[in-house]
Homo-oligomer: A and B are copies of this chain.
C-alpha cells in the first residue's frame, strides 16, 4: 500500500502516521521528495482500511498495491476452479474450467408442481443442465408476492427428482438455511451481496454458492464478498454478472459485459451471466446470452416460463421454452466457433 501525503505536512504528523503503521505490525518505507512524501507499507496490509487512511487530513491519496482478496485471487491460484455440482439425487455438472458451460434455466418464481415440473422438463430437453426457480422472492414492495418459501423448495426437489437436474434457488436470510439442505446450489441475490452475516454463514457450509453482483457494487467488492464465503472454508463460489445501475433507463440495468474478461483475469472462480435480470426484457435475452458466450463466460442463467397466460406478467423478462431452445442453439454456435 502506498500513501502519498499532502504538501507541507508537518514532520510530527508524518512520524505519528509511521508509528501507527508500525503498531499494526507493518513496516513503513518513507520516501521524501522535493514536493511530496510517500510512505510505502510493507507486510500484510489486507486488514488495513484504505478508506479510513484516505480520509486523514494529511493524506493526498492511497493506492493498494496488492489486492485485498486472497482466496479468490488468481495470482495465488492460477488454475480455473471447477465446482462439481449435484447432490445424491441429481446429475453431476461441472461449473468452471475450459470445456464446461453451465446453463441454468427456470421460472422467476416457483408456482406449482405442474409449472415447475413442466418447465424443468422443457429446459432439460433444450439443453439446460441446472434448474433455477425462486422460492423466497426479494420484492421491492411488501405488497408483492413473496414466494412459496419452504413449499417452493419442496416443489423444486420434486422437479429435480423427475429430471435429475440439480437445483439453484435463492436464500434471503440465514435463518432459512436448514430448508436448503437438499438444494444443490444456493443463490445469494444482488440485494444481499453485502449481507455479511449471511455470507459468513454460507462460508461454514460446503454448498456451491452462486453470488450475484450487487447493483452498485464494483468487481472488487464482489470479490471481497466471495472472500467472505471462502474465508469460512467454503471455496465453491460462482460469480454472476447481472447488470449494474446506471443513468440509462432503456434497459432495467446495464449489463457490464467487460466484467467477464476482467473477472476471469482477477479470479479463478467461475463467472456466469444473467441476461434476464440485466435487461428485464425477453427480447434482449438472446443477444445478451450470445455476448456472454463471446466474452468467455462459464455459463448463463436464463428465465424461462411455460404459461402463456401468466406469461403476460411473469414472463416479462422470461423466454418461452421454444425461445430458450433457440437461444441455446445460437449460444452453442458461438462457443463452437471460438473453440476452433
Contact = CB atoms under 8 A, between A and B. Distances in A.
A269 B104 CA distance: 35
A276 to B, nearest CB: 9
Nearest to A331: B294
A126 interface: no
A324 interface: no
A173 interface: yes
The range of chain A's interface size is 35 or more
Interface stretch (A35-43, A79-87, A93-101, A111-119): A35-43
A254 B252 contact: no
* Of listed A142, A287, A295, residue having the most chain B CB within 10 A: A142
A88 interface: no
Contact of A337 (B142, B144, B248, B333): B333
B282 A290 contact: no
A70 to B, nearest CB: 8
A139 B47 CA distance: 10
A54 interface: yes
A233 B184 CA distance: 36
Interface in A92-150: 138-146
A56 B312 CA distance: 7
A320 to B, nearest CB: 11
A261 to B, nearest CB: 4
Contacts of A315: 56
- Of A57, A140, A262, most buried by chain B (CB within 10 Å of CB) is A140
A315 B49 CA distance: 12
A293 interface: yes
Interface string A280-304: 1111100110110111100000000
Interface string A54-85: 11110011011110110000010000000000
Nearest to A265: B283
A161 interface: no
A138 B46 CA distance: 16
A20 B312 contact: yes
A71 to B, nearest CB: 9
B196 A138 contact: yes
Given A227-B142, A291-B257, A334-B334, A282 B57 contact: yes
Contact of A290 (B42, B63, B338): B338
30 contacts: A2-B2, A4-B63, A16-B309, A33-B40, A38-B65, A46-B143, A52-B313, A52-B314, A53-B313, A54-B280, A55-B316, A56-B312, A69-B141, A172-B197, A191-B196, A215-B216, A218-B250, A219-B250, A220-B250, A244-B254, A247-B247, A255-B258, A257-B288, A258-B278, A261-B288, A265-B283, A290-B295, A291-B295, A294-B334, A334-B334
